[in-house]
Amino acid sequence: MAPTSTPQTPFGRVLTAMVTPFTPDGALDLDGAQRLAAHLVDAGNDGLVVNGTTGESPTTSDAEKAQLVRAVVDAVGDRAFVVAGAGTNDTRHSLELARAAQDAGAHGLLAVTPYYSKPPQEGLLRHFTAIADATDLPVMLYDIPGRSGVPINTETIVRLAEHPRIVANKDAKGDLGRASWAIARSSLAWYSGDDMLNLPLLSVGAVGFVSVVGHVVTPELRALLDAHLNGDVTKATEIHQKLLPVFTGMFRTQGVITTKAALGLQGLPAGPLRLPLVELSPEETEQLTRDLAAGGVQL
């Protein structure tokens, strides 16, 4: 059973969007996934998002996705929330993934805006509602127009928030003004989905993070969050500024690529990438090492 949730923090406060470890030959590494999940929860994560973008969901099969959820739930599901990515640009396929995630023991669903198709807002409303209706699990929307091509407009967010199982939003829109209005007008728990904006989003009402850099700096993210909650703006700002090289370095190229490289530098399970993603060059690895060191990450 997962930790107790509240309406304000339905999935806890600090979550990492976990990579999917693969074996050297490119197969799913379930043992590695369990070891990485345990490491991340030990580091201070309240929850993990699996089968998301950082989990290379476009290149894992439906069967692999279910196996991964089950393995991570078995490893840490009694002490952390396991949220499963179920969103695609095909509503019927998304419903199948949602039901499979529930059957595998997930505690919640992450539903990204349908990508490539560029549906209108009414299409988004019906898509997310169908996912929320498909299972008994709470749903976190994922608003990332840079990848999907379409934002979830504030009016749509407000309407979706009326659904009893749509409880949160992962915001990677990069627009603090629109986030402010959506937080003020909806009941959704707001999670930063853009590490560089973790602190700014807290300042306008976010409750926590779904982080990529949490793979390497979860304790620092927790300290930043605690400082903010305790009203110590100076300390929160100091931590934010200390982490700027990490925020920058982990996104000099596609985040999965740098994250797996960083985990490899730390001797943690990660493994290779699946095409079309490719490993860092030696020069890029050297730059990442410098960036992480500048942010205080021990390698």
Residue 52 φ/ψ region, left for φ over 0, alpha for ψ in the -120 to 50 degree band, beta for the rest? beta
Nearest to 77 by CA among 47, 44, 50: 47
The residue whose two tokens read 């279910």 is 66
Q: For residue 297, say whether it is annotated as part of any ligand binding site.
A: no
User: What gap in Å lies between CA 43 and CA 219, rounded to an integer?
Assistant: 6
The tokens describing 64, both together, are 């692999």
What count of residues does the chain have? 299
Provide the 3-class DSSP secondary structure of residue 12: strand
Q: Which residues participate in catalysis according to the annotation? A: 142, 170
**Angle of the 282-294 helix axis to the 255-265 helix axis, nearest 10:** 80
**Contact by Cβ (8 Å): 296, 239:** no
Pairing assessment for the beta strands 108-112 and 166-171 based on DSSP bridges: unpaired
Q: For residue 210, say whether it is annotated as part of any ligand binding site.
A: yes
User: What gap in Å lies between CA 33 and CA 254, rounded to an integer?
Assistant: 21
Binding site residue list for pyruvate = 54, 210
**What residues form the annotated binding site?**
54, 210
